Structure 1
Amino acid sequence: MEKSKVYFINLHTKNNDNLQKKLTRLMKHAGIDTIDFSKKFTAIKIHFGEPGNLAYLRPNYAKTVADMVTSLGGRPFLTDCNTLYVGGRKNALDHIESAYVNGFSPFSTGCHILIADGLKGTDDILVPVENGEYVKEAKIGRAIMDADIIISLTHFKGHEATGFGGTLKNLGMGCGSRAGKMEMHSAGKPHVEAEDCIGCGACSRICAHEAAVVKDKKASIDHNKCVGCGRCIGVCPQDAVKAASDESNDILNRKIAEYAKAVVDGRPSFHISLVIDVSPYCDCHGENDIPIVPDVGMFASFDPVALDTACADAVNAQPPIAGSLLAKSTDHSHDHFHAVSPDTNWKSAVEHGVKIGLGNSEYELIEVK
Structure 2
Amino acid sequence: MTELKPGTGGDTYIPYEKRTGNESIVYFTRDLSAAGLIKAYKKISENLTGKAAVKLHTGEQHGPNIIPRPWVQELMEKEIPNSTIVETNTYYDGDRYTTEEHRKTLEVNGWTFAPVDIMDEEGTIMLPVKGGKWFKEMSVGSHETNYDSMLALTHFKGHVQGGFGGSNKNLGIGCADGRIGKAMIHTYPGQDQWSIAEEEFMERMTESTKATIDYFGKHMAYINVMRNMSVSCDCEGVAAAPVVTPNVGILASLDICAIDNASVDMVFAMKEKDHHDLVERMTSRHGLRQLTYMKELGMGNDRYVLIDLDNGEVRIDAKEAVKDVVPFKG
- d(CA) in 2 for partners of 1:313, 1:291: 19
What are the within-5 Å matches in structure 2 for residues 185-196 of structure 1? Answer: 185-189=186-190
1:48 to 48, 58, 70: 58
Q: How does 1:260-275 map to 2 (within 5 A)?
A: 260-267=209-216, 268-275=219-226
Distance in 2, Cα, partners of 1:112 & 1:189: 37
SS at match of 1:174: coil
Is the contact between residue 222 and residue 252 of structure 2 (CA under 8 Å) also seen in structure 1?
Answer: yes
Higher RCO, 1 vs 2 (CA within 8 Å, ≥6 residues apart): 2
Gaps of 5+ in 1: 13-18, 191-242, 330-335
Partner of 2:131: 131
Partner AA of 1:366 in structure 2: I
TM-score with structure 2 setting the length: 0.81
Q: Which residue of 2 aligns with 1:217?
A: none
**Structure 1 residue aligned with 2:323:** none
Secondary structure of 1:7's partner?
A: strand
1:91-118, CA deviations, whole angstroms, 9 ceiling, x for partnerless residues? Answer: 1121121111111102xxxx20111110
Q: Is the 8 A contact 1:43 1:151 kept in 2?
A: yes
Q: Secondary structure at the residue paired with 2:101? A: helix
Q: Any idea what the Cα deviations from partners look like across 1:226-270, whole Å, max 9, x if unmatched? A: xxxxxxxxxxxxxxxxx6321132111111111111111142001
Between the aligned partners of 1:152 and 1:31, the Cα distance in structure 2 is 11
Answer yes or no: is the 8 Å Cα contact 1:43–1:79 preserved in 2: yes
CA distance in 1, matches of 2:283, 2:264: 16
Does 2:256 match 1:279? no
After superposition, the C-alpha distances for 1:172-218 in whole angstroms (9 at most, x for unaligned) are 0110002111110012236xxxxxxxxxxxxxxxxxxxxxxxxxxxx
Q: Is the 8 A contact 1:293 1:319 kept in 2?
A: no
Which residue does the alignment assign to 2:26? Answer: 6
Amino acid of the residue matched to residue 22 of structure 2? E
Q: Please give the residue correspondences for 1:140-289 in structure 2 after superposition, counting only pairs within 5 Å.
A: 140-178=140-178, 179-189=180-190, 244-267=193-216, 268-287=219-238, 288-289=240-241
Letter in 2 for 1:252: F
Amino acid at match of 2:80: T
Partner SS for 2:266? helix
Matches within 5 A, 1:44-83: 44-70=54-80, 75-83=82-90
CA distance in 2, matches of 1:140, 1:83: 12
Shift of 1:158: 0.6
Asked whether the equivalents of residues 141 and 177 of structure 1 are also in contact (C-alpha less than 8 Å), the reply is yes
Aligned length: 286
Unaligned stretches of 5+ residues in structure 2: 1-20, 311-330
Q: Quick check: 1:141–1:175 contact (8 Å CA) kept in 2?
A: yes
Q: Which moved more, 1:93-102 or 1:272-281?
A: 93-102
Partner of 2:44: 31
Q: Distance in 1 between matches of 2:297 and 2:207?
A: 8
The residue aligned with 2:8 is: none
In the other structure, the counterpart of 1:21 is 35
Q: CA deviation at 1:340?
A: 3.4
Identity of aligned residues (%): 27
Change (3 A) 1:85 1:367: same
- Residue equivalent to 1:91: 98
For the aligned residue pairs, the C-alpha RMSD in angstroms reads 1.9
Spell out, residue by residue over 1:293-349, the C-alpha distance to the aligned partner (whole angstroms, 9 max, x if none). Answer: 110000000111111110111122224678xxx66x6xxxxxx43x13653112211
Aligned equivalents of 1:258, 1:64: Cα separation in 2:
32
Contact 2:164–2:282 (Cα < 8 Å) also in 1: no
AA aligned to 1:282 is C
4+ residue stretches of structure 1 with deviation over 6 A? none
